[in-house]
Amino acid sequence: MSNGIFTKSFLNAIISSAPVFLLVEILNIFNIFSFVSFEKNILFFGSFLFLVIGITFFSIGIEHSINKIGQYIGSSIIERKNILLLIIVCFLIGLFATIAEPDLMVLASQLSIKEVYLFLFLVGIGVGLFLVIGVFRILFKYDLKILLLLFYGIIFTLINLINKSFIPIIFDSGGMTTGPITVPLILSLGLGVSKSTGNNSDSFGLSSFCSLGPLFILPFFTHFIKFQKYNSNTIVDYGSLKYILLKFSIVFREVLLSIIPIIVFFFIYNFIFLKLPKKNIFKIIVGIVYVYFGLSLFLAGVEIGFVPIAEHLGYLLISKSKLLLFIISGIIGFTITLCEPSVKVLINQIESVSNGAIKKRNMLITLSLSISLAVILSVIRVVCDFSVLYYIVPGYILAMILSCFTPNIYFGIAFDSGGVTSGSLSSAFILPFIIGVANYTCLQKNYGLDFAREFVLKNAFGVISLIALAPLIVIQIFGLVIYIANHYNNIVEYRKMHKGEDNQIIKFYE
C-alpha cells in the first residue's frame, strides 16, 4: 500500500473529523465549555488522533478487503445460478456485515444495552432478510416503490403496537445499518445482480431497502432488549488511565468478535467456490488487519473522548441558552455533513448521473443545510417532548408522494443517500450531543431514574432517522427540478426546430 494512498486517506480523515474538534476548541476558548480541564482537553485531542488514524487505516483496509470480498462473492454467486445458494449467501452477508458495522456499535453503546450482540444479531437478521428480498426484486424486476409502500405500511402498523419509547431506537437502528462495512458488500452484490439483468441502475436503492429490515424485525423482539443501570449525570471521570486501558481492551475484543464471522464466512466460501490465488488472499488478509486496527482505534477514540465531550456540550449549552443551543446544533449538523467523505462520493455520483445538471457545490450545501435542520428539529423535539413520529410520518408521506413524480434513478439514489449522511460522526457526536440535552431536561424536570431513561430513549434517539430522512426528500426534489428543466428545454428546442409549423403539433407535444 503506497505512501500516496496513505497520505490521501490520512488527509481525508483529518478533513472529516477536524470540524467537530475545532468547534469544541473554539467554544472552550470563548469560555462556553469552560469546565473541560486541561487534562481532559488533552484526552480529547488524543481521541481525535485515534479517530483520524483509525479512519485512515480503516479506509485503506476496506478497499483491499471488504470491497474485494463483496466483488468476488457478488460476481461468483450470479454465475452459479443457484437460487438456494443465492438466498443463503445474501442472508449471511447481511447478517455478518451488520454485526461488524461500526456505526451500529456506537449506537448500541449509547443505548447501554446489556446484550449488545443480541441487539446486533436481531438487526443483522433484518438486514439479511431484506437483502434477500432486495436481490430477488432486482432479478425479477419488481418495482422498488411498490415494495417500499408495502413494507412501510407494515412497519408503521407494527410500531403502533409496541412501547413508544422503542420507536426512535428502531428507526435509528435502521439508519445505522448503511455504514462503511455493510454498504460496500451490499452495493457490490447488488451491482453484480443488476448486471445480470442488463440494468445497472436497478442496484440503486438496495442498501436503503435493507435498512428497512431492523424496522420490520425489532418490533417483534423489543421485550428481549434490556438496558444497563441508568445514570443521568453526564459529568463522569473518563480521564483516568485505568478507564482508558479498560475501554481499549473492551473495544479491541468486541471488534475482533464482530469481524470474525464475516472473515470465516469468506474463507469458507473461497475454499468451496472461489479458490482465489494465494496472492489475492494475502492482500485481503492484510486489508482485514488494517480494518481491525482502524476500526478499533476509531471506536476507542469515539468512546473515550468524543461521546463524553458531546454529551457535556449538549448538557452545558441548554443550561446556558436555548438560542445558543439551536445555533450550535445547526452548525454541528452543517459542518459534519459538509466534511463527510461519503457525502462527497454521493454528490459526485449525482453530478455524473445528472450529466452535470446538478452541481456538486449546490448539492453539498443543500444536503448540509437539510441535515442542519434535522439536528435543530431533534433538539426542538427534546425541549418540547413529543414523538419522533410527528416528523417521520409526514416526512415519509412526502417522500413517497415525490416518488410518484421523480425519475427512478433519482429515487434510488435518494433512498441510498440516507445511509451516507447518517455516518459514523452522526452516531459519535450528534447523538450523544442530543442525549446531553435530554439529560439536562430530565434534571430540570426532576424526573426519577426510571422515567428519565424513558424520556431519553423516547426523545434523544431518533435524530439518526431524521438525518437519514432529510436527503431522501431533498434529492428527490432536485431530481424533479432537473426533470422539469430538461422537459422545458426539450420543448424550447422543439419550437426552434419546428418554427412556423402547425401550432397544433407543438401543443400536442407539450
Q: Which of residues 230, 250, 285 is at a domain's end?
A: 230
Under DSSP, is residue 237 helix (H, G, I), strand (E, B) or coil? coil
**Domain assignment of residue 200, yes or no:** yes
Same domain, yes or no: 325 and 216? no
pLDDT of residue 199: 63
**Domain assignment of residue 413, yes or no:** yes
Same domain, yes or no: 338 and 480? yes
Question: For residues 209, 213, 215 and 219, what is the CA-based torsion angle, rounded to 10 degrees?
Answer: 160
* Cα–Cα distance, 424 to 107 (Å, whole number): 10
pLDDT of residue 450: 66
Secondary structure element (H or E) that encloses residue 492, with its range: helix 463-497
Of 349, 367, 373, 378, the residue nearest 418 (C-alpha): 367
| pLDDT tens digits, 220-253 | 998 888 777 655 544 445 567 778 888 899 899 9
Same domain, yes or no: 99 and 220? yes
pLDDT along the chain (510 residues), means of 10: 79 85 82 64 89 91 86 81 88 92 84 82 95 89 87 92 88 85 78 68 75 94 76 52 84 90 93 92 94 92 88 88 91 83 67 70 83 93 91 92 84 75 80 92 77 84 90 84 78 65 47
* Cα–Cα distance, 490 to 510 (Å, whole number): 10
pLDDT of residue 242: 78
pLDDT of residue 234: 43
Q: What is the DSSP letter of 203?
A: G
Could you count the other beta carbons within 10 Å of the beta carbon of residue 300? 23
Instruction: Look up cell 426552434; give the residue.
Output: 496
Q: Which of residues 230, 246, 276 is at a domain's end?
A: 230
pLDDT of residue 203: 63
**Domain assignment of residue 29, yes or no:** no
Write out the three cell numbers for 248: 481499549
**Domain assignment of residue 280, yes or no:** no
Question: Helices 360-384 and 341-353 meet at what angle, rounded to 10?
Answer: 130
**Domain assignment of residue 443, yes or no:** yes
- Residue 496, domain extent: 321-510
**Domain assignment of residue 12, yes or no:** no
